């Protein structure tokens, strides 16, 4: 069973966080949401307080019924559940020096390798964290110490989009785990909301028919290869630099200037964050055992233009993007989402960053409780 919290009453709403994050990222919304919904905020396996998933050939792994093939978006007969070994492939050149970046998803300040990513991005986010032991001189593009390569999945840039076999930490794999979690709670088709990686998981579950509504905040999967690598670099740099500066983080987060400097890449208004939230999220990132595999598997899942979106066309779907998102810049990726999901409600959140929940909690809660 995944670690989770339940509050409120009404139709069930399941909240799914992003890479390196934890369920507390939704805290600015919980009180308002609980007035209208039974809110279930969950820690993904290998993040927050949930243990890492078992090996994919372990019988405890969830059954993969209803998974798509790569060629179509419809359900297929379950196939083998043990992935073959992957071989590290070449990486796309990118920023290799942390420069003046500081932790918390710290991004090189002079780098622009993403989809219209601002070149003056200020590093930081409350999902960076204190450290797990390991080298501290790695650049944001250096592979995580626990991983054999920056992205060693040969399907990472496959435009067909869906993984044919389970890949540890991928959207499809984590969707399987969340689906089993929902089964354990007796929830067939709850409302789902996800942030970043969690947004991709929510959309995948909705595509499979496991949701009555889906809201995705800056979901992954609408990028090109460069945008994906930029995102991997940002979150990878946060983990490395957060570990390097771990002893100083309590003092840094205690100041407004420190929170702005360290959290500005994920939040539009980082000064509004509390020092305690910043530090807790920082530690969650550095201690997440599922981080390396999930980052490496980022590119496995996409919803290609023209593919059958499955059950998504029959339910309310909202895609929301902050206009100050420096991790998954909205200019190109929100446009791709409009093209690939034309029947969805597409919303921009002015002044909000990648994690808009503390930037504009009232608007985010409204998107989750008021349907189009």
- Cα 71 to chain center, whole Å? 25
pLDDT at position 305 over 50: yes
Give how many domains the chain has, as a whole number: 1
Split at pLDDT 50, 70, 90, the class of 239 is confident
Q: Residue 2 — pLDDT band, cuts 50, 70, 90?
A: very high
Kindly tell me if the per-residue pLDDT of 123 is higher than 90: no
Residue 62 is predicted with a pLDDT of 64
**The pLDDT of residue 130 is above 60:** no
Which whole-number Å values give the CA distances from 244 to 102, 137, 237, 253, 350, in the listed order?
Answer: 9, 8, 10, 15, 33
Is residue 332 included in any domain, yes or no? Answer: yes
Q: Taking 50 as the threshold, does the pLDDT of residue 112 lie above it?
A: no
Residue 285 lies in a domain: no
pLDDT of residue 28: 97
Mean pLDDT of 192-198: 98
Question: Given this model, what pLDDT does residue 265 score?
Answer: 86
**pLDDT above 50 (res 151):** no
Is residue 139 predicted with pLDDT exceeding 80?
A: no
Residue 137 vs residue 319, higher pLDDT: 319
| 178 is a domain residue | yes
Tell me the sheet residues that pair with 5: 41
Would residue 363 count as lying in a domain?
yes
Mean per-residue pLDDT for 6-21?
97
Question: Contact at 8 Å (CB) between 129 and 278?
Answer: no
| DSSP assigned state of 289 | T
Task: List, as one string, the DSSP characters of 214-256.
Answer: EEEES-SSS--HHHHHHHHHHHHHHHHHHHHTGGGHHHHHTSH
More confident: 229 or 88:
229
Q: In what order do the strands lie in the sheet with 345-349?
A: 4-7, 38-42, 12-16, 191-195, 213-217, 317-322, 345-349
Range 253-257 average pLDDT = 94
Distance from C-alpha of 372 to C-alpha of 370, rounded to nearest angstrom: 7
Q: How confident is the model at residue 357 (pLDDT cuts 50, 70, 90)?
A: very high
Residue 148 has pLDDT above 90, yes or no: no
- Give the model's pLDDT for residue 240: 86
- Answer yes or no: is 202 within a domain: yes
Q: Cα–Cα distance between 365 and 361 in angstroms, integer?
A: 6
In the prediction, which pLDDT does 94 show? 39
Determine the structural domain holding residue 48 and report its residue range: 4-86+155-225+301-369
Dist CA 214 CA 68 (whole Å): 19
Report the CATH number that the domain containing residue 35 is assigned in CATH. Answer: 3.40.50.1820
Highest mean pLDDT among 40-49, 160-169, 263-272, 284-293: 40-49
Does residue 324 have a pLDDT over 60?
Answer: yes
> What angle, rounded to 10 degrees, do the helices at 256-263 and 275-286 form?
40
203-227 pLDDT, tens digit per residue, is: 999 999 999 999 999 999 999 999 9
Phi, psi of 271 (to 5 degrees): -70, -15
The answer to whether residue 128 sits within a structural domain is: no
Instruction: Give this prediction's pTM.
Output: 0.75
Average pLDDT over residues 219-248: 90
Query: Locate tokens 């890949």: which residue?
Result: 167
pLDDT at 180 over 90: yes
pLDDT score, position 298 = 85
- Residue-wise pLDDT for 289-304, tens only, equals 999 999 999 877 776 5
Rounded to whole angstroms, the Cα distance separating 76 from 344 reads 25
Q: Which residue has the higher pLDDT, 117 or 291?
A: 291
Q: Is the pLDDT of residue 126 over 50?
A: no
Q: pLDDT grade, residue 169 (50/70/90)? A: very high
| Residue-level pLDDT at 185 | 97
Q: Is residue 27 scored above 80 in pLDDT?
A: yes
Measured CA to CA in angstroms, residue 151 lies from 259, 267, 335 at distances of: 30, 26, 25
Mean pLDDT score, 42-54: 96
Does any domain span residue 96? no
Mean pLDDT taken over the chain: 78
Q: Is the pLDDT of residue 267 over 70?
A: yes
């Amino acid at each position: 069973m995944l670690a989770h919290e339940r509050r409120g009453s009404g139709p069930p709403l399941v909240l799914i966080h992003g890479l390196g994050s934890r369920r507390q990222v939704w805290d600015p919304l919980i009180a308002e949401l609980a007035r209208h919904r039974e809110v279930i905020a969950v820690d993904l396996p290998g993040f927050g307080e949930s243990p890492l998933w078992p090996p994919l050939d372990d019988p405890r792994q969830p059954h993969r019924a209803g998974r798509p093939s790569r060629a179509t978006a419809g359900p297929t007969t379950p196939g083998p559940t043990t992935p073959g070994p992957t071989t590290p492939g070449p990486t796309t050149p990118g920023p290799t020096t942390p420069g003046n970046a500081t932790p918390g998803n710290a991004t090189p300040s002079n780098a622009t390798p993403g989809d219209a990513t601002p070149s003056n991005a200020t590093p930081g986010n409350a999902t960076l964290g204190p450290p797990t032991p390991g080298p501290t001189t790695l650049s944001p593009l250096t592979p995580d110490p626990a991983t054999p390569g920056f992205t060693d999945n040969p399907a990472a840039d496959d435009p067909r989009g869906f993984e044919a076999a389970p890949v540890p930490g991928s959207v499809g794999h984590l969707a399987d785990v969340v689906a089993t979690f929902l089964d354990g709670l007796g929830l067939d088709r709850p409302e789902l909301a996800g942030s970043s990686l969690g947004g991709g998981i929510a959309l995948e579950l909705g595509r499979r028919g496991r949701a009555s509504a889906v809201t995705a905040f800056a979901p992954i999967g609408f990028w090109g290869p460069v945008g994906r690598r930029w995102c991997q670099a940002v979150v990878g740099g946060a983990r490395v630099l957060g570990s390097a500066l771990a002893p100083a983080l309590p003092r840094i987060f205690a100041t407004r200037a420190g929170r702005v400097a360290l959290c500005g890449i994920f939040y539009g208004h980082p000064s509004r964050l509390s020092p305690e939230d910043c530090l807790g999220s920082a530690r969650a990132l550095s201690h997440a055992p599922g981080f390396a595999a999930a980052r490496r598997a980022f590119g496995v899942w996409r919803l290609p233009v023209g593919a059958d979106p499955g059950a998504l066309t029959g339910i309310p779907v909202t895609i929301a993007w902050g206009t100050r998102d420096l991790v998954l810049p909205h200019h190109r990726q929100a446009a791709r989402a409009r093209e690939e999901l034309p029947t969805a409600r597409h919303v921009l959140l002015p002044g909000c960053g990648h994690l808009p929940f503390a930037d504009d909690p009232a608007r985010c809660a409204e998107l989750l409780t008021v349907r189009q």
